[in-house]
Copies of this chain bind each other. A is one copy, B any other.
Amino acid sequence: MVSSPLYLEDVAIGSKYGSPTCKVGADDIVGFAAEFDPQVFHLDEEGAKETFFGQLVASGWHTASITMRLLVQSDFNPAGGIVGAGVEEIRWVRPLVPGDALTLEITALESIPSKTNPDRGMIRLRVVTLNQRKQTVQVMVPKLVMQRRLEGEALSGNDKTKAAIADPVL
């Protein structure tokens, strides 16, 4: 998962990136919910049976936050870090339940150089969060701020090699 920092120009549309896996237990689900989403279907296995979900499920914001950690740990590694401007869409397709193990499929959808700042731009990604049965738990389309290489500052040979390793489409 070690890769050279990516600039906007390094990311070809359609490029795919992977992430490690994160296993989530009932304690994690209840701990997050107690702090950020204190509702019975996220807090109590017994009480959850009488609710819309019929069982203990994670807060969607817990799924989103774990997805962020996996994105930071993924092989999509922008120079200057992952800086979100916003998210176009989040869909919680299927609940995250105790014992699930999550992993990401990351695809570059669109690259948008800034009209006013030549040193930056935006990238739109599709980030699909899958469970251990390869079922989709969450689909998210974030927009990230990315740095551009300064004009005339060509890639060194070494950087080119690194970029090729980091980006399977190059």
| Total interface residues in chain A, CB < 8 Å | 34
A87–B85 CB distance below 8 A:
no
Copies per assembly:
2
A86 and B82 contacting across the interface, CB-CB below 8 Å: no
Q: Which of A1-9, A58-66, A153-161 forms part of the interface with chain B?
A: A58-66
The distance in angstroms between the C-alpha atoms of A38 and B145, with both chains bound, is 17
**Residues from chain B with Cβ under 8 Å of A88 in the complex:** 88-89
Asked whether, in the complex, the Cβ of B37 is within 8 Å of the Cβ of A69, the reply is: yes
Question: Are B36 and A65 in contact (CB-based, < 8 A)?
Answer: yes
Contact A39 B81 (CB under 8 A): yes
Q: Does A91 reach chain B (CB closer than 8 Å)? A: yes
List of B residues within 8 angstroms of A92 by Cβ: 84-86
Within 8 A of B (CB), among A62-94: 64-66, 68-69, 72, 80-92
| Contact B145–A68 (Cβ < 8 Å) | no
A-B contact pairs, 20 of them (CB 8 A): A35-B69, A36-B65, A36-B66, A37-B68, A37-B69, A37-B72, A38-B72, A40-B81, A51-B80, A53-B83, A59-B68, A60-B84, A60-B86, A61-B61, A61-B64, A61-B68, A85-B92, A86-B89, A86-B92, A90-B90
